[in-house]
Amino acid sequence: MKLRLATILLMASATALSAQQEERHKADATEHQMMMDHGLVKSVTPLYTSIRGFLIKSAEQMPESDYGFKPTPEVRSFGELIGHVANASYLFCSGAMSEKSPAKVDYEKTVTAKAGLVEGLKAALAYCDKAYEMSDMKSVEKVTFFGTENTRLWVLNFNVAHDFEHYGNIVTYMRLKGMVPPSSQRGQ
């Protein structure tokens, strides 16, 4: 009888322990999922949002008469630079999302008017907004971009780096024209 009672108690304890472990495993999985959905992409999104604003404000701020300005003959004009960023935004973000680029024109090569370039830049960045809303689980999936296999998040980071690189060019163009770029206008 004592052996039977001990066996029953042991089995009940094992069942309770097993249920506790299963609940803890579910809680750990839920916590992991929450961390994955609130960390990776959201860590780069503020940088994207910042550069997005600087690019649009710069494109709007530069007078149309200076869209053809080139600091030296070998480099892109201001307008071509804005067009290049628009084209690249479609390229990077469609790559990150594994979609066909929805770009309808080559902004750098075919659009010269300020209004068309500003509109094209805004449309490209609006398209990119969707990429920066992807879940972290999706962001760690592998894609091939520029012949390199890496994560979707890597492509999003590459996009931000590329945008900041060309914003540096834009700042130089604006300073040469005696203008204060958006990133230096804080507090004015």
- DSSP E strand stretches across 33-146: 142-145
CA angle at 33 for the pair 95 and 138, rounded to the nearest 5°: 10
Contact 96, 143 (CB under 8 A): yes
The three-class DSSP label of residue 136 is helix
- Tell me: the pLDDT tens digits for 22-46? 666 665 555 555 555 558 999 999 9
Which letter does DSSP use for residue 142 in this model?
E
Residues 122-160 pLDDT 10s: 999 999 999 999 999 999 999 999 999 999 999 999 999
The CATH fold assigned to 42-181 is: Four Helix Bundle (Hemerythrin (Met), subunit A) (1.20.120)
51: tokens are: 């550069």
Torsion sign over Cα 162, 47, 123, 116: negative
> What tens digit of pLDDT does each residue of 46-59 get?
999 999 999 999 99
d(CA 143, CA 97): 9
- pLDDT exceeds cutoff 70 at 107: yes
Q: Are 94 and 102 in contact (CB under 8 A)?
A: yes
* Confidence label for 187 from pLDDT (cuts 50, 70 and 90): low
Mean pLDDT score, 73-99: 98
Residue 122, Cβ density class (10 Å: 0-12 exposed, 13-18 middle, ≥19 buried): middle
